[in-house]
Amino acid sequence: MMGRVTSGLMADYRPGSFLLSSPRRALLATGSQAVVTERDPEELAARVTKLLVDSDVPLAVGALPFDRAAAPHIVLPESVRWSGPVRPASLPSAPVAAGATVVPVPAPAEYERVVERAVQRLRAGELDKVVLARALRLHLPEPVRVAALLANLARDNASGFTYAVDLPGGRTLVGATPEMLLTRTGLSVEANPLAGSIPRHPDPERDRQAAQRLLSSAKDHEEHRVVVSAVVDALRPFCRSLHVPDQPSLVSTSAVWHLSTTVTGELADPDVSSLRLATALHPTPAVCGAPFEAARDTIAELEPFDRGFYAGAIGWCDADGDGQWVVGIRCAEIAERTMTLYAGAGIMPASRPRLELEETSAKFATLLRAMGMSIEAPSSAE
C-alpha cells in the first residue's frame, strides 16, 4: 500500500537493505529469506517466480551484473514497504565522509589513450560503438555513511532513481541513475534508453547552448539510434506491438544532458516477467556497445577492472511478473572504508578522447556532489 509522502523509508534504510526510490514511489526491502543466483535467464526467472508463488513474499529484489555470464544477486526479502515519492526538501544535507584519498583508474591521460585505441577500431569497422568506463577509488579514514549518501543523492536527483543494493562479500552498490531499463505493468512494457550525452553548465545560457549542441550532434544521434535499435530488437520477440518515437527528446540530470527515447509495447505472453525482460534487454548498447560480442570483448581488453555490478540492472519483480528495473550507472561500490566510483562514455568513430574524458568527469559529479567533495576537473596529466 502506498504510504504518506515522506522521507521515512530513506530514514529507515539500514546496511543490508534494498532501496529503490523513483519519482513516483519508494521501495524498502529488508532481510533475506532466499537468494537466487542462477545464471541462465530462463531458469532465473522461473526460479524467482516459483519462490514468490510458493511464499507470502510480495516481490523479489536485487541486481544483475554487467557480465551476462556472471551470477546475479536476487533476494526474497523478509519485509517490504512502499511509500510515495521522497520529497527532496524533507531530506537534510548530511556529511558522508571526509579526508578521502582519490586514485583514478586508469589515470586520465591513459583513459584518453584507451579511447583513441577504441576509435581506431571503430573507424576500421571492427564494431559500431563501445562504452569505456573509468573509476575513482576513494580510501577513507572511516566507514562510509551509506544512509547519508542515499539521502544526499535522493535530494539532488529527484527526477531519477536512487538505489542501494546489498551485494555478496559485504559490499553495497549505491547510486542515482537517470535511466530506467524497463517497467512492466500487466501486459504493458516501457523502456527508456538514454544515449548521447553532454555535460551541463552552471550558466543558464551556456547550458541551453549545450543542450542544443546535443540535439544537433550527428555523432550523438547515431549513438542513440544504435541503442534504441538494440532495445527494440530485444523486446520484439516478447511483444505483439511496439511504439517507437521518430526522434529522441532531451532529459537532464543536475550534471548531464541526455538524448532519451521512450519505447512502449504490449506483451504477447502474460507469463513473461519483468525479470525475464530485464535479462533479455541487459546490457544494452548504452552501457556496453554494438555489436554486443565485439563491444564486450573490447571492454574486457581495454578496461583495467572488472565492472561487477556497475552498469548492471537493479530492480524488483513480483509474483504477477510486474516490476521495474533501472540501469546501474552513476554509482559507487562501497566496502567499509573504500568506495569505487564508475563512469563511462559511449565511444563512436567520431569521438574525441578529451571530450569523452570530460563526459566521464561530469558523470562522476553525481556521486562526488553527494559525498560533499569537489567535482573532479578533467586533466590529461598523469
Q: Compute the radius of gyration of the chain from its Cα atoms.
A: 20
Strands (E), 168-206: 171-177, 180-185, 188-191, 194-199
Q: Which residues pair with 180 in a beta bridge?
A: 326
Active site residue 190: no
Cell of 159: 527526477
Question: Quick check: helix, strand or coil at residue 77?
Answer: coil
* Distance between CA atoms of residues 28 and 82, nearest Å: 6
Q: Of the listed 38, 42, 142, 179, which one is catalytic?
A: 179
List, in sequence order, the alpha helices (H) in 106-254. 108-123, 146-156, 204-215, 218-235
Cell of 291: 555489436
Cell of 204: 543558464
b (16+ CB within 10 A) / e for 224-252: bbbbbebbbebbeebbeebeeeeebeebb
Residue with cell 513474499: 57
Strands (E), 37-144: 59-64, 73-76, 79-83, 101-105, 129-139
| Termini Cα distance of the chain | 53
| Residue of 360, 335, 311, 282 lying closest to 138 (CA atoms) | 335
Amino acid occupying residue 275: L
Active site residue 50: no
Q: Of the listed 112, 116, 126, 129, which one is catalytic?
A: 129
Amino acid occupying residue 126: E
* Distance between CA atoms of residues 315 and 319, nearest Å: 14
* Distance between CA atoms of residues 207 and 365, nearest Å: 16
Cell of 17: 537493505
- C-alpha to C-alpha distances, 305 to 7, 118, 166, 220, nearest whole angstrom: 36, 17, 20, 26
Residue 16: which region, alpha, beta or left (left: phi > 0; alpha: psi -120 to 50)? left
Residue with cell 583513459: 111
- Residues with a catalytic annotation lie at 129, 179
